[in-house]
Each structure stands twice: as structure tokens, then as C-alpha cells.
Structure 1
Amino acid sequence: MIELLTERLRLHPLDLDDLDDLWRLDSDESVMRYVGSGPVADQAAHRERMQELVVRFADSPFGLWGIRKLENDTFYGIALLIPFEDSPDIEIGYRLLPEAWGQGVATEAGRALIRYGFEALRLGRIVGVTHPDNAASRRVLTKLGLAYRGTRAQYGQDVAYYVADRGVADATGEAKPAGSEVDKTVELSVAPTVGRHG
């Protein structure tokens, strides 16, 4: 995994220093309203699970990124680009603390990962799923150029299923090839990961 920089954000590979911030995120009832079985209650089990994920993706181009404000390193949430359950596809996702809502953070972080996936990793397809009632998340997926493909059973529940193939579609539905202007709405730079704060 690599660090990604946008105009306002730093997306860094999650590490063990992020565990307290991750607990704050995943134990928040409003954040987890549409995620899995809701807010996490067991901090020790959550810490162990997050440690496993950090180790699992340490040497992978995929995984979970912490989203931080570039200006002062404030933790906003996480974004992910991971293998999609029971599929050869790659899934994009995001979760933000309430104080980061309504500021375009999920869209900016998501666009960085879409560009990274299509341009750097040369992925053929990126998919996204969300709870059918999660209107905000569905809007973000559409802004990222993913097209709604109906509902499907995934992760033990019915989810709204979105897809972007290498020819990314913009919000009007017009297909755009990777590297076109729709992909460049965020100026993206790649920073070598020497250490989270170094």
C-alpha cells in the first residue's frame, strides 16, 4: 500500500497507531447505522480484528487507508480498496466520523482511490455496495462514476450494488476512459510511505 495525497487529504495505510481512532469510528452509532450489525461494542475484539487487517494488507496494493486532513492530521475516517467477497472484483468503501460529513471528504478520498485503482493498478472493474437506505453513500458512489446495478445479497444482507469498469462513467452516465477529465477532478500525488508522520 502507498500513501495518497489530494488537495485537502492524506490517505495513509492504516497502522497500529490508528487503533484508537478506529475504535472511535466503529463504536459510533451514527457512523455504523448502515454498517453490518451496527456499532462495535467489544473494544478488545475490535482491536484484535483491526490488527489482523493491518497485517493482512501490509504488503498488498489493496487495503484500508486512514483519511486525515492534510493541514493538521485530523482523523476523518477510513477508505478502502479490497477484494470483493466471493468475486474477482475490487471493492471501494469509506466510513467517516460525523464531524467530516457534508464536506465532500468521502468523494475526494474515493476519487483518489478510483484513480489509484484504474491508473496505477490497472484494475478492470471497481465495485461498491451500501445499504439501500443509505442515501448519502449512494450519492457518493454515483459521484465517483459507479453505476447502479440493482440490489444483491452480500455480506449477509441485501445491498445496493454499483459498478465502474475501466471506462469510468461520470454522473451524467457518459462513459469516460480512465485518465480523462472525470478522473482528474482531484489532483492526486503519491507519497512514499516512510512512516505515518515522517
Structure 2
Amino acid sequence: MKIPTLETDNLRLRPFSIIDTTAMHQIFNTKNVLKYFPGPRTLTVAQVQRSINRLLDHWQVKGYGLWALESRATGELVGRCGLQHITETDEVEIDFIVSPKFWGRGFATEAGQASLQYGFETLNQSLIVGIVHPENIASQRVLTKLGMQFAEETQYFGMAVQRFVKTHPEFLIN
């Protein structure tokens, strides 16, 4: 499958490449970026390479996945965003990680909106979830700005989380 490229006002959502490894390694290992994620708080270059390969494989298997976020102004890698399948619950989740260098500019919301639009309009998903750690207020704000509604406190990936949802009809109304 050819992974589509999307463009927003400030971002290009494009397929990951192995050449993104160094930049993603720096992003992942910047203080607080993985603070609310399960698993290790630092990643090796080899782990980041495997992660990129898994992201590309996800596209081939599911027909959707995570994009590399690139600044249209500078060409710099901003982070990642897109949709991924949660095997344990058979749900589609919106996921975003933005480098702290770009925090506060609305890039997660901008990329998230493009991802939701792709999920609902192109993939015809009926429901997309957002899973966020209860202390991750910034990501909760992004999900709310995307029109996602708090659904419940629950467990995912072995940790307590808040689950947000957005359904296809809501997307068409907003």
C-alpha cells in the first residue's frame, strides 16, 4: 500500500522513513516526551528503528497508521500523529507525540484534526478513541479541542487512563 501524504496549514503528514530515526530518537529521548507512556522512558536508536518499521508495517496490514509530522515551513520533523489499532480492544486510537520544541503551537491539534478526518471520511471509521494518562492535561486538552468526549476512566496497556471518544456522526456535525 502506498501511504498517503496529507497537508495542513503548517504540517505535512507523510510516511516515515528510516532517515527519520535520528530525529525521532532525539524527540523520544527529550525529557517528559514519554512521561505518560507505558514502557521505557528512554529508547535506543535500534528501538526507534524497530518502532518506525512497525509503524510502516501497521500501514500495510491495517491500511492506516501514524505519519511523520514535518513542518512545512522548515522541513523539520515535529513528531508523529495518526491512527493505530489497539489489538486488546479492537479499537482505532488517535495517537500524537510532538517534540517539546514545538509545544504550544497547536500542531498536535492540527495533525489530530487531519487524522480524524482521514479516519472518518477515507476509512469510514464509526468510532475513534483517545487514550490519555489522567495527569496528562495537555493531551486531554488536545482531545477536547478535537471534539472528543470524555467517556470513562479505565485500564489500557496495564495502566489507569482516561478514554475519550468521537463517533462518525459527531464528525459530520462538527
Same fold (TM over 0.5): yes
Partner of 2:154: 152
Cα distance in 2, alignment partners of residues 97 and 2 from structure 1: 23
What SS is found at the alignment partner of 1:122? coil
Specify whether residues 49 and 107 from structure 1 end up closer, same or farther in structure 2 by C-alpha distance, changes over 3 A only: closer
- 2:134 aligns with one of 132, 135, 149: 132
Q: By percentage of residues, which structure has more helix? A: 2
Cα distance in 2, alignment partners of residues 16 and 60 from structure 1: 20
Cα distance in 1, alignment partners of residues 72 and 142 from structure 2: 21
Partner of 2:85: 83
CA RMSD of aligned residues (A): 1.7
1:32 aligns with 2:34: yes
Q: Which moved more, 1:45-54 or 1:123-132?
A: 45-54
- Residue-pair matches, total: 172
Partner of 1:119: 121
Q: How far did residue 112 of structure 1 move?
A: 0.4
Q: Percent identity?
A: 30
Is the 1:63–1:81 contact (alpha carbons within 8 Å) kept by the matching residues of 2?
A: yes
Is the 1:4–1:12 contact (alpha carbons within 8 Å) kept by the matching residues of 2?
A: yes
Normalized against structure 2, the TM-score is what?
A: 0.91
Q: How far did residue 38 of structure 1 move?
A: 4.7
Specify whether residues 115 and 27 from structure 1 end up closer, same or farther in structure 2 by C-alpha distance, changes over 3 A only: same
Q: How far did residue 6 of structure 1 move?
A: 0.6
Query: Unaligned stretches of 5+ in structure 2?
Result: none
Q: How far did residue 59 of structure 1 move?
A: 6.1
Specify whether residues 71 and 46 from structure 1 end up closer, same or farther in structure 2 by C-alpha distance, changes over 3 A only: closer
Q: How does 1:18-29 map to 2 (within 5 A)?
A: 18-29=20-31
Q: How far did residue 72 of structure 1 move?
A: 2.1
1:13 aligns with 2:15: yes
Specify whether residues 60 and 13 from structure 1 end up closer, same or farther in structure 2 by C-alpha distance, changes over 3 A only: farther
Normalized against structure 1, the TM-score is what?
A: 0.80
Q: Where do 4+ consecutive residues of structure 1 move more than 6 Å?
A: none
